[in-house]
Chains A and B, each alone.
Chain A
Amino acid sequence: MNGVADIARDGGVAWLGGASSVAPRWDLLFGAMVLLCGTVALGVCIAILAFSIRYRAGAGRGEPGPQRTRAIEIAWTATPLAIFIVLFVWAAHDFVELYRPPADALPVAVVAKQWMWKLQHRNGRREINELHVPLGQPVRLLMTSQDAIHSFFVPAFRLKQDVVPGRYTGLWFTATKLGEFRLFCAEYCGTDHSQMLGRIVVMPPAEYTRWLGSGNEQPSLAQYGFALFRSLGCSGCHEPASTVHAPSLDGILGRTVHLQDGRTIVADENYVRDSILVPRKDVVAGFAPVMPSFAGQVSEEDIEALIAYLRSTGATAAGAGAPR
């Protein structure tokens, strides 16, 4: 069988072809669990087989077993429990890292729809079903969906994140291998789910910079967002000079915001998004809820651009308080 031949040729891990900074840790944990669980499974099988042969009917070895079983029971309750807690902590430790994007991660806006991926780089360059990224540099995707739930899955990176309508989810990674890697939609999304494919192209940084600069000249995401900020009339109320009393949005991302109902939240992309579409949801303390909803007037791409603009204002740490 060729599948088996592949394993033999590449060696187990190469067969999986890890290509991100999390892949080696994933492979290590997976390998450790295969070893551990394989041992347990083998032990159970050997015990069943050995007992089946030794104590088969007719062998005449049957006799009443031990009547006092409590100590054994406690031992094989406590041992798995201890092992499970170690495994939980190990896996949780690696998982928490996925929620901590580095501050300098390159932002990419992702909008999924039936059945394609639309991606936009910081300088405004757009891609469909392809994502070019530089080798060795962290990249952070800010993702939402226009329709059903999708899921951004790159097996070589050992990463996957659902892309949900009505909210942002994030995913960050650092590619560690040059080449092209498959991108799948992993959440069933209708007729052409299995055609919602793409690829990640990992390039040397210099080449990536060249690639990013090529193509049609267009405004950066933040510049486009600023234009929207003006044309939609956001600036009419939210600029310090305005006559309408509205909170300043300078450096809003990552800032702690006190709300009218007493809650305190750290403003992230989802907060900004909700404030544009459902302004009455999180009203800032001391302000009247006068802002109209922009639902239906702005596309998902527009909101991502507005967020990129807001992120460029003030001195905020990119990624602070960000969704995964």
Chain B
Amino acid sequence: MSSVSDVIVRPPSAPAPAPSPSYLEDGHTLRSWLTTHDHKRIAILYAISITVFFFIGGLAATVIRLELATPAGDLVSHDTYNKLFTAHGVIMVWLFLIPSIPSVFGNFLIPLMIGAKDLAFPRLNLLSWYLYVAGGAIVLAALALGGVDTGWTFYAPYATMFSNSWVALTLVGVFVVGFSSILTGLNFIVTVHTLRAPGLGWFKLPLFVWAHYATAIILVLATPVLAITTLLVVAERLLQIGVFDPAHGGDPLLFQHLFWFYSHPAVYIMVLPAMGVVSEIVPCFARKRIFGYRFMAYAILGIASIGFLVWGHHMFVSGQSLAASLVFSLLSFLVAVPSAIKVFNWTATLYKGSIRFDAPMLYALGFVGLFTIGGLTGLFVASLALDVHLTDTYFVVAHFHYIMVGGSVMAYFGALHFWWPKATGRMYPELWGRIAAVLIFVGFNLTFFPQFLLGLRGMPRRYHAYPPEFHQLHMASSMGAVVLALGYLLPLVYFAYSLRATCRTSANPFGALGLEWQTRSPPPTHNFDRPPTVPEHVYDYATPTKAEPARTPAAQATSP
């Protein structure tokens, strides 16, 4: 397959003496980073850029929670508030969550995990990042010019005909970012099909790779529908053609169908990679094989495929037909089955293990707990009669934050802590890692659990000001957000600190068994000095004493 590149592509800058430089040392200029084709460097570029967007989106959330600390809308104006929650949603969904785990960790790890030198299309990979940055810059430009007030859902005809804000420009940004997603998905699919190391069959792949393969398929199939939808909204807004606006002969429900046809699978784009991360961390720290490997892989495929058929559960009270609502509700219950299987299997993996509670494991266990609550409350809103009351209230807000923040962001932080030594060769202070994990877990629950009660009591979403009976619960949520914010800021500090040379660590400080750990940390540009050996079982942690690491960060300095 890649035999030609094996021979020809030698980094011309590396003048051949034995230990080739690590990918971090292979060029120090800005140019060497901005023109790199190395999947690991591109992953770092993504990590830096999505971190910027994470904190911009988080800033918007901070102002929202401050405003909601009192019932009166007294901190910012109605329009500003509406623009804040829109900015929070747009940035967090498209500029953080969707690219987070796939574009950073998928990019960095998939070639390493399958024993390849790079992704199948390294140049396309770099183009993906540039598209992402360009799209993100367009969205930021729309924000700077005055923002957009439609909510991240851009419902028509409000977005097409009534909103007096930067809708079209923002959607152009989303459109461009979408192409970044499509190209990344395409790259992953081709890579997993064609670049697996000899002997690495499909059922020897880590679940992380399975999850990203399924995610890539969703990215490639669903994102074009988002592109079509955004173009139609822009066209209706600028040219007054009647697609969604009934005053021009359009159908507003058509917009919702198109939008959710992308945006529901998008939830699985966010959560499947998170599941992949947790499936790597849990066996490593439980020193156990993952329970039911094949069922886990099938569950991933099940979620990815049924996930395409449930979009109408966002529309039970929209005016869609009774028959449609019945079918979408049933399918929504069905998609919960593979998710339940996964939760049970992670739990069962702990059984008879030899469990260590390093920071990555705390995040992974936090994920399992919060994802379980998010998933179970999903059953409430999948239930037709219950959804009538709960939809468009804070119950839904709490539910999807449990999935996206409690689930995906928790897993993203777990991945950061687990593969930080792999990517940097450095170890963060373990105690601070644990403190941040606990802060985030506690802060998250304090912020979002009260929102279930708010929604149950009828507090509608997207309200700038609210009746006094909701005050205490909103106040509780805002106070929890303070703890959560601290938890998110803390890792910035200790990760930066850990980049000091004194924090060097060994190639495999956690004693993990994935192929990515068979090479140096940080890996050389072409990933492996000698071809990795494919083990019999990808999670062969079976013998508890095997590869038990002595975990003293910074003490085990090895040659870089």
Contacts and interface: CB of A to CB of B under 8 A. Distances in A.
Interface in A34-92: 37, 40-41, 44-45, 47-48, 51-52, 55-65, 69, 72-73, 76-77, 80-81, 84-85, 87-88, 90-92
Q: How large is the interface on A (under 10, 10 to 19, 20 to 34, 35 or more residues)?
A: 35 or more
B385 A95 contact: yes
Contact of A73 (B295, B336, B382): B295
A56 B355 contact: yes
Interface residues of B, number: 98
18 contacts: A30-B380, A33-B383, A52-B350, A56-B357, A61-B352, A76-B341, A81-B337, A88-B382, A91-B384, A91-B385, A95-B385, A148-B161, A165-B246, A165-B252, A188-B151, A188-B153, A190-B82, A193-B463
Contacts of A59: 354
A45 to B, nearest CB: 6
Contact of A159 (B319, B336, B389, B464): B389
Interface in B320-334: 322, 325-326, 329-330, 333-334
Given A37-B379, A62-B352, A164 B253 contact: yes
Interface string B468-500: 010111001000000000000000000000000
B457 A30 contact: no
A65 B288 contact: yes
Given A55-B355, A162-B317, A153 B458 contact: yes
Contact of A91 (B383, B393, B466): B383
Most chain B CB neighbours (cut-off 10 Å) among A1, A3, A85, A324: A3
Interface stretch (B203-211, B231-239, B364-372, B525-533): B364-372
B337 A16 contact: no
Contacts of A160: 317, 388-389, 391-392
A207 interface: no
B325 A166 contact: no
A186 B392 contact: yes
Contacts of A52: 350, 355, 357, 365
Contacts of B158: 148-149, 188-190
Contact of A164 (B163, B252, B354, B471): B252
B556 interface: no
For the complex of A and B, 9 pairs with smallest distance between CB atoms: A166-B246, A155-B458, A62-B354, A91-B383, A95-B384, A62-B544, A94-B385, A3-B472, A51-B350
Contacts of A185: 460
B373 interface: yes
A120 interface: no
A190 B83 CA distance: 10
B341 to A, nearest CB: 6
A69 to B, nearest CB: 5
A72 B291 CA distance: 10
Contacts of A26: 385-386, 388-389
Interface in A279-324: 323-324
B353 interface: yes
B354 A96 contact: no
Interface in B364-411: 365, 368-369, 372-373, 376-377, 379-380, 382-386, 388-389, 391-393
Contact of B319 (A81, A87, A162): A162
B379 A29 contact: no
A51 B353 contact: yes
Interface string A149-169: 101010110111110111101
B117 interface: no
B226 to A, nearest CB: 20
A186 B460 CA distance: 6
Contacts of B292: 69, 72-73
A104 interface: no
A52 B317 CA distance: 43
A153 B542 CA distance: 55
Contacts of B456: 16, 30
A62 B542 CA distance: 9
A191 interface: yes
Contact of B252 (A58, A81, A149, A184): A149
B544 to A, nearest CB: 4
Contacts of A248: none
B460 A153 contact: yes
A323 B319 CA distance: 8
Nearest to B338: A77
Contacts of B74: none
A239 interface: no
Given A95-B388, A185-B460, A148 B157 contact: yes
B280 interface: no
A147 interface: yes
B352 A188 contact: no
Contacts of B389: 26, 155, 158-160
B162 A114 contact: yes
A3 B251 CA distance: 42
Nearest to A51: B350
A28 B75 CA distance: 40
A25 interface: yes
A37 B377 contact: yes
A169 B319 contact: yes
Most chain A CB neighbours (cut-off 10 Å) among B82, B352, B465: B352
Nearest to B73: A194
A119 B340 CA distance: 46
Contacts of A188: 82, 150-151, 153, 155, 158, 461-462
A192 interface: yes
B123 interface: no
Contacts of A90: 383, 385
A47 B352 CA distance: 12
Contacts of B476: 1, 3
A15 interface: yes
